[in-house]
Structure 1
Amino acid sequence: MTHTYQIAGMTCSGCQHKVQTLLSQVKDVRNVDISLAEGTADITMGRHVPTSALQDALKDFPKYQLSEAAHNHMASMEMDDIESRSWLATYKPILLIFGYILTIALIAGYTAHGFMTMTAMRIFMSGFFLVFSFFKLLNLQGFADSYSMYDIIAKRFRQWGYIYAFIELGLGLAFALDIQPFTVNLITFIVMSVSLIGVLQSVLNKRKIQCACLGAVFNLPMSTVTIVEDALMIVMSAVTLFSVF
């Protein structure tokens, strides 16, 4: 699991190295990734390490003050609450959404000449992006905050979260209108592949954070379900790209 902490008092690369070394010596700490610019430390643990133990590691250097990041603390509490629910109760919103989108896509795929697989896929992808962008736009700032916790681009460029929501909206409209299928599917493949990297890192590191796929409306944990979402879009866009050639 990986948790994010605020660290005050770091002013140079020497400070960064000192803090990283001290925290790395704490029992059960696997990795320490410090951002000097943001004054944060992403600490990966083999098992949970109390904040007090991390603070004790810096006690000989009082100018370095470690504290839990506010959004990380709240997210951790929310994830603890989510973990007490059943799998079905946790993922009910996303299962219902997928069910509705799949039903519409299947209906659209049936014609007098038989079932049109590519049409069904296009409508499914349109529905996916339109619905998911809708939930992100309901609370754009909340989505950007959640997304910046794990996406490899949003971590360094927070505005990417705002841009990403509108990219999804644009892709949804483009798929619905069947505009420039090659270009649209290529963009989908690239954007979703990049997004998947951050998701995989979070799941493999067992980070207890909220998935931003449905914005800040539903408290869904980052899990293999999120991987399946992104992978499904990547596979569908790849299939369509090959069919265009």
Structure 2
Amino acid sequence: MVESQTNKREYLKFGGVLLVIAVCATVMSTVLGFDWQEWMRWFMGGFFIIFGSFKLIGYEMFITMFPIYDPLARRFKLYNYAYPFIELFLGFLYVANLLEVPRDIVTIVLLGIGAYGVSRSISANNGIKCACLGNIIKLPLSSVTLFEDVLMVAMAAIMLISYFVV
């Protein structure tokens, strides 16, 4: 019961953070009239900046837990240590609307690999904590984590495709 209450509280904190990011993205994307692509860009920028910051705040925990489920972090130690900074950099690129094509490709590749690692860990039922939130929000690695990664990959793919279709 205590574990369930703790998880519920942590999910509420997580939902609150996502709500704040979504509200900010909505405000920023409606300055000149609402645009879904702008909303996605602002949401992704906010997401990467906030979650990259969480990883830095709980850096020791992050670098310990991340390689357990991320194939690149397990194989390349430097990537494990650099990942929070990569997320921050991606966030700044989204907010500043710079290097759109390479930014979206990097997002698709890194979070696609991350989604693969998360899905493998979920299916193995390791019961590990998600490193994606540092020590700020303590959630188990779950379908929520997988959904997060897949959603970011999908938004980056939509944005990437739109550069060539429009």
TM exceeding 0.5: yes
CA displacement 1:207-234 (0-9 Å, x = unmatched): 1100011013322101110011101100
Q: What is the aligned counterpart of 2:134 among 208, 215, 220?
A: 215
User: Match of 2:65, as an amino acid?
Assistant: S
Unmatched 5+ residue regions in structure 2?
none
Shift in Å, 1:86 = 6.5
Q: Distance in 1 between matches of 2:56 and 2:134?
A: 8
Question: Does the 8 A contact of 2:26 with 2:39 survive in 1?
Answer: yes
> 2:139 is matched by which residue type in structure 1?
L
The answer to whether the aligner puts 1:201 opposite 2:120 as a matched pair is: yes
Instruction: Please show how residues 67-82 of structure 1 align to structure 2 within 5 Å.
Output: 82=3
In structure 2, the partner of 1:236 is 155
- Partner in structure 2 of residue 124 of structure 1: 43
Between the aligned partners of 1:111 and 1:126, the Cα distance in structure 2 is 17
SS where residue 89 of structure 2 aligns? helix
Asked which structure has the greater RCO (Cα within 8 Å, sep 6+), the reply is: 2
**Contact 1:144–1:159 (CA under 8 A) maintained in structure 2:** no
State, as a whole percentage, how many aligned pairs show the same letter: 34
The alpha-carbon deviation at position 117 of structure 1 amounts to 1.2
Runs of 4+ residues over 4 Å off in structure 1: none
Q: Which residue of 1 aligns with 2:63?
A: 144
Structure 1 regions of 5+ residues with no counterpart? 1-79
Task: Indicate how the Cα distance of structure 1 residues 108 and 154 shifts in structure 2: closer, same or farther if over 3 A, else same.
Answer: same
Amino acid aligned to 1:103: V
**1:182 corresponds to which residue?**
101
Aligned residues: 164
- Aligned pairs (5 A) from 1:1-245: 82=3, 84-85=4-5, 88-112=8-32, 114-245=33-164
Q: In proportion to residue count, which structure has more strand? A: 1
Which structure is higher in helix share?
2
For residues 138 and 58 of structure 2, the distance between their equivalents in structure 1, rounded to whole angstroms, comes to 13
Deviation of 1:89 after TM superposition, in Å, equals 2.0
